[in-house]
Amino acid sequence: MDQTLQHKKKVVIVGSGIAGLACAVRLAAKGHEVIVFEAGDGPGGKLHEFRLGPYRFDFGPSLFTMPHLVDDLFRLAGKSPSDYFKYSQLDILCQYFWDDGTKTHTYADLDRTIQRLSADLGEDAEKLRSHFEDSKSKYEAVGKIFLEKSLHDLSTWMTRGVVKALFKIPSLHLFSTMHDVNARTFQNKKTIQLFDRYATYNGSNPYKAPGLLNIIPHFEYGFGAFIPQNGMNDISNALYHLASDLGVSFQFNTKIKTITAQQNKVGGVVTERGEKIEADIVVSNMDAYYTYKHLLTNENRAQNILKQERSSSAMIFYWGIADTFKELDLHNIFFSADYQKEYQHISEGTISDDPTVYINITSKYVEGDAPEDHENWFTMINVPYDRGQDWQMMAQIARTHVLRKLSFILKRDIATLIHQERIVTPDIIDKKTLSYTGSLYGTSSNDRMAAFARHPNKSPDFDNLFFLGGSVHPGGGIPLCLFSASIVDDMIP
């Protein structure tokens, strides 16, 4: 008998976020029968698109790094990536602005970045280079081990790489905060702020998170930043079409009510319509808290997850802007004057009156995302997770502060240029994407043991239940979600 048929299993995946799509591709390529259930009307989870009049917007993630992780899925399936998915590398990675008129930007070319930051911010070029090299060395020392492997599998700890990494613990800055490391390295507080902001990539606080998080810049400067041909939603669409071509079945607009379980095994799922689907393996791409709370009705496990600090959330103003701004690019940051005060507000569940503002403008690169001489602004600030705040009131106050800040720096009255608008707050993110409390990355990394406290990719209770996506190991963001799919794939023969 064919070896593939001998090991063929029926796999149910709950949720079609980027991790669920990647896992479906991987398991289908092994010959398994895979069916994906999605509560929404299409694939992608947070990585989907919508339109406001003539403007197109990506709903969620806006930064694309490590594109080889997506390409690898096509090659794994014996397909050519370019047949499904095209993207280009950015020359300018990000534009940075401050209220006092200081501005700078970074490039894909590291030498140019160092020269630019040195000239604009007065930093020593060698200290900058050393910092980038340190970020790379951290990734090479622990990134490949602790991001691409399960931390809850004994075999991970039995490798030579782990032993080498243990000897490098002093250089990993586990016992210093990210901010403290940056403050010791650089003279200009603006440079410190620029590197502190990478904590936001996983919803953490640079004044609490360990210095190991200075690994994050390497994802951008080591691997580059890219833009898909038709926007970020291209990633979801490409993987959806690949999975479909491999025989994966998708059921959209279908909520799962229960994961059936008996003793140490799960038996499948039951939809809200009452349909019972048996399965050899169940994989949850749903937030781990909601998986336990609603699908497994395991209140104790759900409460254990809540013992960990939740990551920050976002408030997003999607604006159709009736003008163009030559000084802006795809990624733009407008910094607050007091970063520590801003994070103190977030810790207290409030929003600073001077928030750091991020603007993503895909119409700079994607034809048709906005009418001629117009732009689509994905305008975001970091905010606390949902604790029952009055988000409608907070959004209106924050909107005023954001518009004042942008109008001051850009020397234009931005409010008069807004032709279309949609506002998304943490409570909406929770309801729309089932990310508990609107936390974008599940739990934060504000503790040096946070990586070990994240929920494992294999259930501690059931032999055939697995977890992936931003709420479990190794964390949120496109690359880490793709790593989680690879980890689960390794666990399923």
> What's the mean pLDDT in 154-181?
66
Q: CA quadruple 472, 477, 480, 485: dihedral positive or negative?
A: positive
Between residues 19 and 2, which one has the greater pLDDT? 19
Task: Give me the helix-helix angle, 68-76 and 478-491, nearest 10°.
Answer: 30
% of the chain beyond a pLDDT of 70: 92
Q: Indicate the pLDDT class of residue 127, thresholds 50, 70 and 90.
A: very high
**Where would I find the beta strands (DSSP E) of 157-312?**
225-228, 249-251, 256-262, 265-271, 276-278, 281-284
Side chain identity at residue 327, one-letter code: E
| Residue-level pLDDT at 449 | 58
What number is the average pLDDT over the span 408-434? 97
- Residue 192 contacts residue 128 (beta carbons within 8 Å): no
Residues 312-329: tens digit of each pLDDT: 999 999 999 999 999 999
- Within 186-332, residue ranges assigned H as helices are 189-196, 217-221, 233-245, 288-290, 299-305
Confidence of residue 446 (pLDDT cuts 50, 70, 90): confident
What pairs with residue 92 in β-bridges?
107
359-389 as b/e: b if 16+ CB within 10 A? bbbbbbebeebbeeebbbbbbbbbbbbbeeb
More confident residue, 394 or 149: 394
Higher pLDDT, 452 or 323: 323
How many other C-beta atoms can be found within 10 angstroms of the C-beta atom of residue 4?
A: 10
Residues 6+ apart with CB under 8 A from 34: 11, 13, 24, 27, 28, 243, 247, 248, 249
Residue type, 68: H
Q: What angle do CA 192, 194, 199 make, to 5 degrees?
A: 95
Mean pLDDT of the chain: 92
- Per the rule left: phi > 0, alpha: psi between -120 and 50, beta: everything else, 360 is beta
Q: What is the pLDDT of residue 1?
A: 34
* Banded model confidence at residue 346, pLDDT cuts 50, 70, 90: very high
Instruction: Give CA–CA dist 261/109, Å, rounded.
Output: 52
Q: Residue 77 and residue 424: Cα distance in Å, rounded?
A: 37
Give 461-485 pLDDT, tens digit per residue.
999 999 999 999 898 899 999 999 9
Partners of 18 in beta bridges: none
CATH homologous superfamily of 3-44+233-307+454-491: FAD/NAD(P)-binding domain (3.50.50.60)
Is pLDDT of 298 > 50? yes
* CA 189/CA 489 separation, integer angstroms: 44
What mean pLDDT do residues 172-194 have?
A: 92
**Ranges of each domain in the chain:** 3-44+233-307+454-491, 91-223, 309-433
Q: In the structure encoding, which two tokens stand for residue 306, read together?
A: 């809540």
Which pLDDT score, from 0 to 100, does residue 150 have? 63
Average pLDDT of span 418-445: 93
pLDDT digits (tens, 9 = 90+) for 21-56: 999 999 999 999 999 999 999 999 999 999 999 999
| Residue 3: per-residue pLDDT | 45
Euclidean distance between CA atoms 57 and 364, whole angstroms: 12
pLDDT at 165 over 70: no
What band does 168 get if pLDDT is binned at 50, 70 and 90? Answer: low
Cα distance between residue 447 and residue 424, in whole Å: 28
- Say whether pLDDT at 299 is over 90: no
